[in-house]
Amino acid sequence: MPPVQKSAIERRAEELDTIAAVLPIERRDELAELLSDQDVETLRHLVNQGMGDNTLRALTSDLAYLQAWALAATGKSLPWPVPEALLLKFVAHHLWDPQRRKSDPDHGMPSEVDENLRQQGFLRAVGPHAPATVRRRLANWSTLTHWRGLDGAFASPALKSAIRLAVRAVPRPRRRKSAKAVTSDVLASLLVTCASGSLRDLRDRALLMVAFASGGRRRSEIAGLRREQLSVEPPIVVPDGPPLPSLAIHLGRTKTTSGEEDEIVYLTGRPVEALNAWIAAAKIESGSVFRAIGRWGTVSRRTLDPQSINAIIKQRVAMAGLEPGDYSAHGLRSGYLTEAANRGVPLPEAMEQSRHRSVQQASSYYNSATRRTGRAASMLG
């Protein structure tokens, strides 16, 4: 009996499995349908070249979106290299004026393209895209083009002018990734919801405390944390009290570092105890630290994805009686620096733990905290 020939989609799905650790693999089958053989080969090449995990996830997500948009808008897959006209169409579909749309239904993204992308889950919010999102997708589009050994029209004056005029026509206020910072008082409210001692509560308590106390780690870093990255340190001796447990987290490659750097942050006291309690209860000896928990309370071998980290935080916010729309995973990062500023921790010391590379970015949290409580803001107080 002759062997059954695998379809192109099945073959691509199997190839995507080989780089599953750095891809949004919950959408593997969808990616296998959307991407071409050359797309998958390019992604594998980028993995072998050592591209950062977070960067590759974002690039893959954007590539899938671009392919879906091209199919919906033109009926064809992305051409390589991309002509300038298609780049201008992409800008016109994503940066548009809502006021003009009311009088001109043909302005912006056509309704049938919008509906197509919405049905596939690629569009959720209503209205034009954020300029930063459009620029990022164009940048990743350009990166993929260059990795294929091709040139595109990404630096064309017409494209730059189109983006500049579109952004100028519809100014958007810049908003933080999390509207409110998860400071220690907010964190305390969230931890109260994790008091039952169940596996889920033990996991979420450890997740919240580790993410905050380790400097406000990014959700991707928490999702990707592995047992092998943890090392026990000598206890911290404190006056008039028992020694505090200490733990080192070896971050390895992060958003702002290369794989050659071994950046380390430290945990002391309660976060270490919470993490040890979860690891012991879940019997985690190796692999992912924070894992999914099944319907019947079984700990999965599958790690939590970054979006699940965000969902957990929003769920705990709701359980604490707060507004979920006000907080996100990034609130732990901004909250750590805000809390450090409120407690008078020197900025360089806080940055050693948060691993911010930009003093300007980190100091913005300090400046906000200082300005809010300072004399200049309370002239009539």
Distance CA 259, CA 51 (A): 9
Q: Is the pLDDT of residue 373 over 60?
A: no
Highest mean pLDDT among 22-26, 90-94, 255-259, 261-265: 90-94
With pLDDT > 70 as the criterion, what percentage of the chain qualifies? 73
SS (HEC) of 199-230 = HHHHHHHHHHHHHHHCCCCCHHHHHCCEHHHE
Residues 34 and 12 sit within 8 Å (Cβ to Cβ): no
Q: Is the pLDDT of residue 3 over 50?
A: no
Domain residue limits, the chain: 8-169, 184-377
* Contact residues for 312 (Cβ-Cβ < 8 A; gap 6+): 204, 207, 304
* Contact residues for 199 (Cβ-Cβ < 8 A; gap 6+): 281, 282, 293, 297, 299
**201: confidence class by pLDDT, cuts 50, 70, 90:** very high
Per mean pLDDT, which range of 99-113, 152-166, 260-274, 355-369 is the poorest? 355-369
* Contact residues for 314 (Cβ-Cβ < 8 A; gap 6+): 324, 327, 328
At 168 the pLDDT is 79
Q: Which residue has the higher pLDDT, 300 or 12?
A: 300
User: pLDDT tens, 33-46?
Assistant: 656 666 666 666 66
Residue 248, beta-bridge partner list: 231, 266
Residue 250, beta-bridge partner list: 264
Domain 184-377 classification at class level? mainly alpha
User: pLDDT tens, 63-110?
Assistant: 888 988 999 999 988 888 889 999 999 999 999 888 888 888 888 899
The C-alpha angle with vertex 10 and arms to 6 and 13, in degrees rounded to 5, equals 145
Q: Which residue has the higher pLDDT, 92 or 146?
A: 92
**59: confidence class by pLDDT, cuts 50, 70, 90:** confident
- Any alpha helices (H) in 37-123, and if so which ranges? 37-48, 53-74, 84-94, 98-103, 111-119
Q: Which residue has the higher pLDDT, 145 or 23?
A: 145
* Contact residues for 28 (Cβ-Cβ < 8 A; gap 6+): 13, 16, 17, 20
Distance CA 262, CA 332 (A): 23
Q: What stretch of H or E contains 144? A: helix 131-147
